[in-house]
Amino acid sequence: MLTGSIPGLYFSGIRNKPVKNKYLFILYTYLLFFNKYLYFCSTSKNNTMEIRIGTNTILKLLNILSWIIFLGLCIEAGGVIFNTIYAIYKPVVAKYFWNGADLSPLYSHDKGHFITQTVLMSIAAVMKALIFYLIVKMFYDKKLNITKPFNPGVTKMVFNIAYLCLGAGFFSLWGARYAAWIQSQGVQMPDIHFLRIGGGDVWLFMAVVLIVIGQIFKKGTELQTESDLTV
């Protein structure tokens, strides 16, 4: 196990605290480097530093990040669906399921339970991919207008994403509880992390937040429309 001491870095009020975890050691080293970089920038140019990042630049970065996440989720959803169909005709695939999950004990126990579990995983994965599809589509159609952010297109998109988050959370929780029930029957099941159905409560929380934001956008759209008609 990697052990190290990070000079000059304060963490939880302790200086030169030995780091016994190699990942924490790497993280501390990175934070120290970043801290030194900020210190160098703040002291250079007569102790003046100004960083200006335009809104358009931020939107472009978010667009690129959304595309990356969207493609990753599409690959994941497609992999789960393909492995499910392929395993029905070739049971050996269940042992080497998507993301390294071994579902061969479940397949041997009951084929119907195997199909139910993988269908729940597939639905949750597809809904997650659809969430970022709507975000990517919003950037592509240029519906997000910074000068007039409250418009019917963005409001509708926020509600659609909220409903998809609600569905993703519901099916993720359903799949996790179904896997726990199967495991209680004596069937060995992989961790929900490998099944990609963890964090269902987070998706539900996000759905509630987005519904509230959607209501705000809806009211803002009405006020914006009234203002345009008045002008």
pLDDT over 70 at 209, yes or no: yes
Do 63 and 41 share a structural domain?
A: no
Closest CA to 195 of 117, 141, 106, 91: 117
**Arithmetic mean of pLDDT over the chain:** 78
Q: Name the residue with higher pLDDT: 28 or 186.
A: 186
CA dist 132 and 130 (Å) reads: 5
Do 64 and 43 share a structural domain?
A: no
Is position 52 within any domain? no
What phi, psi does 10 have (nearest 5°)? -95, 130
pLDDT in tens, 92-146: 888 888 877 888 888 888 888 899 999 999 999 999 999 999 999 888 877 766 6
DSSP annotation of 16 reads: S
For the segment 67-77, the average pLDDT, to the nearest whole number, is 93
CA dist 164 and 207 (Å) reads: 8
pLDDT for position 149:
72
Do 153 and 84 share a structural domain?
A: yes
Do 95 and 195 share a structural domain?
A: yes
CA dist 76 and 131 (Å) reads: 14
Do 191 and 99 share a structural domain?
A: yes
Q: Is the pTM of this model over 0.75?
A: no
Range of the domain at 38: 4-47
Residue 145 Cα to chain centre, angstroms: 25
**Averaging pLDDT over each range in 63-67, 188-192, 193-197, which range is the top one?**
63-67
Do 78 and 187 share a structural domain?
A: yes
Do 102 and 28 share a structural domain?
A: no
Do 118 and 81 share a structural domain?
A: yes
Q: Domain tally for the chain?
A: 2
